[in-house]
Amino acid sequence: MAIVGIPAIAEHPWAYPALEVLHIVGIALLLGNLVLLELRVWGAAASLNLRDLARPTLALSMAGFALVALSGLTMFAANPAELLANRLFLLKLGLISLAGGNAAWFHGRGGLDRPDALARLQTVLSLGLWLGAIICGRFIAYV
């Protein structure tokens, strides 16, 4: 059974570029706010309460992720067969899954309440996974 996309998305003169812009804005919201929180876990701006900082930064990160997911799924719908055949796309999805698992682990173990060495390691892992996903996403069109 062949996977059929929605060519109108890819063929429309501004639809796909507009989706790409939304995707980038979502990435900025997601990663920018995560980095702020992760820097605080590492001890930056120690006068700020970690839980108080987490409320707005995590809310904006989740909004960014929602925007990335919605725009990404819509772009995927334009040509799913081509993307599913692209190893970088599959690696990107794997990295995003690992980043989500790492976030669940961080919050599940109470990383905000104990910013210990493991929490700091998880923030480094988080940043690496998200940067890897972004790099893979950028190179999808070129491989």
pLDDT tens digits, residue range 37-63? 999 999 999 999 999 999 999 999 999
Total structural domains in the chain? 1
pLDDT in tens, 73-125: 999 999 999 999 999 999 999 999 999 999 999 999 999 999 999 999 999 99
84 within some domain: yes
Considering the domain boundaries, does residue 1 fall inside one? Answer: no
Residue 4 covered by a domain: no
Domain enclosing residue 106, as ranges = 10-142
Give one DSSP letter per residue of the chain, joined into a string.
------HHHHHSTTHHHHHHHHHHHHHHHHHHHHHHHHHHHTTTTTTS-HHHHHHHHHHHHHHHHHHHHHHHHHHHHH-HHHHHT-HHHHHHHHHHHHHHHHHHHHHHTTTTT---HHHHHHHHHHHHHHHHHHHHHHHGGG-
In a domain, 43, yes or no: yes
In a domain, 3, yes or no: no
Does residue 113 fall inside a structural domain? yes
- Assess if residue 30 is contained within a domain: yes
The pLDDT value recorded for residue 11 is 85
Quote the pTM value.
0.93
